Amino acid sequence: LIDTSHSVPSYHKYVGYVVFVACMMSWRKAMSTRPGWITARTIAKYDHFPYDNILFAENKVCRTVGIRKLARSKFDRASGRHVPRFDHYCGWIGNTVGEENYRYFLLFLAVHVGMCTYGTIILIRCFYDEIVESDLLNAGTGEEVKASKIVVFQFLMVRHFGLAG
């Protein structure tokens, strides 16, 4: 589709591979970086958030691990450890998101949003070229018929269904 498009330069075929590699690298980094684990030895390193005495009370002890519960920390069932600045367990990266891997998780999200935006723009430009070159909005059997945009969209999806799987 890119090879026949006039509004999408051919180098975008290779840019797509670079974007894909960036997505895989950000996923790998977010997946393999530990979220940080609170132990008796590392408790001072992570004790820097203020206690609000509503959700996080001072001098509260985690019943599961038996250490002092820090503000914004939580016991993670997936790892069996206490995680500082616990955010959530992400099934996409197969890892808990915590203080030490939060920036890599945000990088993962930003790179994938960029990939989706880039892919959408390129696909729209390719489809637009095909619509204009084939005169799909005025296509017919010799008789001039005004096609709706939904009909043209359905035609393009059926014609290029192999792109999606």
d(C-alpha 98, C-alpha 91), whole Å: 14
Nearest to 73, CA basis, from 105, 106, 108, 48: 48
Q: Which of 62, 90, 116, 126 is catalytic?
A: 90
| β-pair type (88-90, 74-76) | unpaired
Return the DSSP state at 62: -
Whether 126 sits among the annotated catalytic residues: the reply is: no
d(C-alpha 151, C-alpha 149), whole Å: 5
| Torsion angle (degrees, nearest 10) of CA 96, 101, 105, 106 | 140
Helix (H, G, I), strand (E, B) or coil at 89: strand
The catalytic residues are 90
